[in-house]
Amino acid sequence: MKLSLYYKLLIFHIVLAILVFVFKPFALAYFMFITVFFSYRIFMASKKYKSFYVLVACAYIVGIEVFLRMNGGTIFYEASKYVVILFVLMGMFSNGISRSAFVYIVYMLLLIPGVFVSISEMGFETDIRRAVAFNLSGPVCLGLSAMFCFKRNISFKQLKVILIALVLPLVSMAVYLILYAPNLEEVVTSTNSNFAASGGFGPNQVATVLGLGIFVLSAKFFMSRENVFHRTIDLFLLGLLGFRALVTFSRGGVLTAVIMIFAFVGLYYLKVNLKTKFRIKFSLILFVLIGLGTWFVGSIETRGFLDKRYANEDAAGREKEDITTGRADLLAFELGTFLEHPFLGLGVGKVKDERLKETGVEAASHNEMSRIVAEHGMLGIIAFLILLVTPLSYRLNNKRNVLFYSFYLFWLLTINHSAMRIAAPAFIYGLCLLNITYDKTPVHRKQALSKR
């Protein structure tokens, strides 16, 4: 049996995980290779397909970002966001943007005063790099991704390829996590977020991208009309990513994935015919069984700690006082900072320093909504309202994107539990704004004549 390109790429990404595990510097070499490779493909693509190649390239970078970060595979921490920015700029210079997309220029301009406030407080040399590179790389990545995607035509078939490009490197991550921590009983000793089970990296970021992969595979499974073999492979990969996401003990990414899946299945079910509705019901039974099985294995492998984590209990089974694991305190501090500096805010990157000065605790924000308000003041509120309202306004007149609400919810929920540390919420937000086209069923000449 001939292997399709999809399965060849799956095998390649399994091998990639092994190579990076055995020889860590390979991660940086691979990052350089894919940056050059995708830049070349975008540059050489015809105008008709350039937008598609840009989105495929961005999706792949988003999918591989955390895997490369955990292995020192980027030149600097925010490099993946800058690569996404590079790709969308290449697409914009070639294919232009919609006039309506200029609202996102306004969004980005509203963030500039916060940079000057920060510089005036702390000095140019010590502050500008952190202010732009760390705190504004995510918002700028989002603004440019949104500008590029707004009302851009992409076929549904192309969108499915884009999402496959995103999920392939997540398979590499899942395989790497197995190699890094094959025996979970040795590394899971409490109900706290587990760095060892997350490849030695931030569990929040790992669970977030794995959750995104869970959603993509779930959507692919529910929409699939392929044979049993192909669907079984999808279910296996779904179980693998789901298991590794659960055992990070970071709940945000997993719960976000579940909400996205519910939003998609509900909307998809309402749009399809009776025959497809029946297939969805059958698929849902299989999906739930796989989900329960994955949870059961996770519970056994973690000796019940997984159950306690999601019940908000500590290792001894006592209920924890703060279900937000400190996020509520960070949120309250940032909202309090806004009340003290309501007009222009405290300045980009200043909230973390202010928190350290006042409480002695150095902690980065987990909530992009409160951070943008605290650091940019009233201008931040206006900027966030642009992000919040524009996709919903666009949706009123364009309801073709069956994945719209899932993408929108991923962005909104992720920036509330993980801010914009990674490029994923910025890029996925952009996908909300695409104009999805569908292939029309060809009408044969006989059918056309019979209707006359």
Segment 327-349, tens digit of pLDDT: 677 777 777 787 887 888 887 87
pLDDT in tens, 133-145: 677 889 999 999 9
Residue type, 395: R
Residues 260, 143, 393, CA angle at the centre, nearest 5°?
Answer: 60
For the record, the structure tokens of 150 come out as 């707004």
Q: pLDDT tier at 360 (50, 70, 90 boundaries)?
A: low
**53 part of a folded domain:** yes
**443 part of a folded domain:** no
Q: pLDDT tier at 322 (50, 70, 90 boundaries)?
A: low
Range 49-53 contact pairs with CB under 8 angstroms and sequence separation of 24 or more: 50/91, 50/94, 50/95, 51/91, 51/95, 51/148, 51/152, 51/153, 51/154, 52/154, 52/158, 52/161, 52/162
**446 part of a folded domain:** no
3-state secondary structure of 360: coil
User: Count of domains in the chain?
Assistant: 1
Distances (CA, A) of 434 to 97, 110, 292, 384: 12, 24, 34, 20
Q: pLDDT tier at 317 (50, 70, 90 boundaries)?
A: confident
Its domain, for residue 347, covers 5-437
With contact defined as beta carbons under 8 Å apart, do 181 and 187 qualify? yes
More confident residue, 290 or 228: 290
Kind and range of the H or E run holding 314: none
**In the predicted model, what is the mean pLDDT of residues 402-426?**
93
Percent of the chain with pLDDT over 70: 89
**245 part of a folded domain:** yes
Dist. CA 371–CA 352, nearest whole Å:
10
For the record, the structure tokens of 145 come out as 């991704």
pLDDT in tens, 14-73: 999 999 999 999 999 999 999 999 999 999 999 999 999 999 999 999 999 999 999 999
Q: pLDDT tier at 121 (50, 70, 90 boundaries)?
A: low
pTM (2 d.p.): 0.92
Residue type, 452: R
The H helix count followed by the E strand count for the chain is: 21, 2
**444 part of a folded domain:** no
Query: Residue 444: what pLDDT?
Result: 43
Residue 370: pLDDT over 50: yes
Residue 442: pLDDT over 60: no
